[in-house]
Chain A
Amino acid sequence: DAGVIQSPRHEVTEMGQEVTLRCKPISGHDYLFWYRQTMMRGLELLIYFNNNVPIDDSGMPEDRFSAKMPNASFSTLKIQPSEPRDSAVYFCASKRGTDTQYFGPGTRLTVL
C-alpha cells in the first residue's frame, strides 16, 4: 500500500493568497483526519471525516479554513485568505474503523 499521500510536500505563498492542501487516504479507510503542527501549539486536530462526512470541525481555527471530502479517496484543506500565522506543517491521517491512524508525510506551508 502506498500509505497516505499528501500534496504538495512544500508550499510557499504570499499572505492573502488561497492555499489548497490535498490528501489521498489509504484505500479502504473510512476515517480521515487533518492536523496542524507548530512549534508553539504542537500537534492539533483540525477536523475529521467519517465516510466522507465531517464529524468534528471544532479544531478548525477560523472561517478562513475549510475542508472537504468529495469522495472516499480525496480530501482538501483550504485556507483563504492565508496569513503568516498559518505557517505550519499540515498532516493528513486515515484509519479504518477502530484501527489506529496512519499519518501522511505532511505539507510544510510557509506564508510570507
Chain B
Amino acid sequence: AQSVTQPDIHITVSEGASLELRCNYSYGATPYLFWYVQSPGQGLQLLLKYFSGDTLVQGIKGFEAEFKRSQSSFNLRKPSVHWSDAAEYFCAVGFNNNDMRFGAGTRLTVKP
C-alpha cells in the first residue's frame, strides 16, 4: 500500500536560514509526488509536483524539491526562509493524480 511519512511534526528555523522538510514514501513504482502548503484557516496550495523527468523540481515561493528514488524521498528545500513561510506543509503521494495520500504534515515556525 502506498504511504507517505513526514518524520518532523514541527520545525523551527530562523528567518533567513535554510530549510529542509523531509518526506519519505512507500510505493512499488515511481509515484506522483506533491508538496502543498496550508496557512492557518486556509485550504491547501500546491507548491510543486513531480511526475517524471528532472528529479530537481522548482516550485513557487522559492521552494524546490528533489526526488531520490534510492532513498524513496522527496524533500522540500528553501535556501532562505521568510517569516511568511510559517505554515503547515504536506507531502502527498499518489499512483495517479486522483488518489493521493497525504503525510501528517510538518508545522514550520519562523523565528525573527
Contacts and interface: CB of A to CB of B under 8 A. Distances in A.
Interface of A: 4, 31, 33, 42-45, 48, 50, 55-56, 91, 93, 95, 98-106
Given A42-B102, A43-B102, A104 B97 contact: no
B54 to A, nearest CB: 17
Listed residue (B36, B42, B45, B99) with the most chain A CB atoms within 10 angstroms of its CB: B99
| Size bin of chain B's contact surface | 10 to 19
Interface of B: 34, 36, 41-46, 49, 90, 97-105
B62 to A, nearest CB: 19
A103 B97 contact: no
Nearest to A42: B104
Contacts of B98: 31, 33, 48, 50, 55-56
